[in-house]
Amino acid sequence: MDIVWQTPANPPEAKDYIFRNGRRHVRPYYFEFISHVKNRWAGKTIVDLFTEEFKGRPYEYYVSAVKSGRIQVDGEMVPVSYIAKSSQKISHFVHRHEPPVMAFEVTILQKEVDVLTVCKPASVPVHPCGQYRKNTVLGILQAEHGLAPLFPIHRLDRLVSGLLILARNAPKADTFRQQIEAGLVQKEYIAKVVGEFPDREQIVDANINYNAREGRSTAEVGASSEGKTACTKFTRISSNGTYSIVLCKPISGRTHQIRVHLQHMGHPIANDMLYLSENTIERSDEGLSADRAIVDSDCSLTSNLDEKYLNKYEDNSIDDFSIDPMCTNCPNLSPKGYGGQEEDLWLHCFRYSGPGWMYECPYPDWA
């Protein structure tokens, strides 16, 4: 096969995306992953090393990858019996399949000389991480608007939508960083929660303990708490008795802080399956969970998208992609094991403000 390998230096392009059933897919591409042998990997055969440390593919695949040169050591082909040594460079050339995301546009809100603000759609990561590279805010902005380099000055979880501020040069990014570290920046989110939220301002001081293995946090109070200090202020905006729209002002910035503090109060985000307690799941079990809202509602999701935006890519939506005979994901477009659940969490970044500046993002439809 005539294979063109991509590296991080290859910028995403508009033709890289395929739009199907309300989702943005990335046309699979060849990519080089580079790592270095850790001390605990040293002494293992190259095949055993990959099989034990990178469990996404079977032993037989790694044997074929070494024999064909898709796995190399210090830029050279090696036999399957090769013993890895500490600090050696190992390269894995793969046919990369990225998970799809919801096909909403990354809307540009303000474009200034030093700053770009956008409305991030839910389900789209901010920057390359894990299985995502082109299906990210940075990748999409580069591919569709030619905007690069960009420096995100704050984080938004993949499932969270809303305001994202990006500096357009390193000095401006450093200015924002200094203001954030000095506690001069205020953050405001809105959430749709279960139940009738109290009508007076609520302040939650509960430590956050994040469990990386489980991918979730817990709120802890008391002297025995091992979590990090965290504080969030909440104000009810509106309520219909069943659900409430709440303004959230995190004073600290811990993993899943707003989600956990709302759960701690007994008013979890109404479609947050990770933090809905047993006694509230039934109340939000009407197709409103972050999982079911997407899985069961493809038609409504597609109808809510900008038709003009999707029509720009009508040709791409029916294009095939090259099948690789060694790839463990082909012939599927999505990666193996992907369940098709791009979630739209009812948590939205609304406003960031600091010394002499303020940026806002419009409310989402659910608010």
Known catalytic residues are 157
Q: Evaluate whether 121 touches 102 at the Cβ level (below 8 Å).
A: yes
Q: Quick one: three-class SS letters along 167-216?
A: ECCHHHHHHHHHHHHCCCCEEEEEEEEECCCCCCCEEEECEEEEECCCCE
User: CA quadruple 192, 193, 194, 200: dihedral positive or negative?
Assistant: negative
Residue 104 neighbours by CB under 8 Å, 6+ apart: 121, 122, 124, 305, 306
**How big is the chain, counted in residues?**
367
Token pair of 272, please?
């947050």
Q: Evaluate whether 335 touches 99 at the Cβ level (below 8 Å).
A: yes
CA–CA separation, 334 and 314 (whole Å): 19
- 181-206 in b/e burial notation, b at 16+ Cβ within 10 A? eeeebebbbbbbbbbebeeeebebeb
Token pair of 179, please?
């203001």
Long-range CB pairs of 139-148, under 8 A, 24+ apart, other chains included: 139/12, 140/12, 140/17, 140/24, 140/106, 141/106, 141/116, 141/166, 142/11, 142/12, 143/11, 143/12, 143/13, 143/14, 143/16, 143/17, 144/14, 144/106, 145/108, 147/116, 148/11
CA–CA separation, 124 and 120 (whole Å): 7
| Omega before residue 149 within 30° of 0, cis | yes
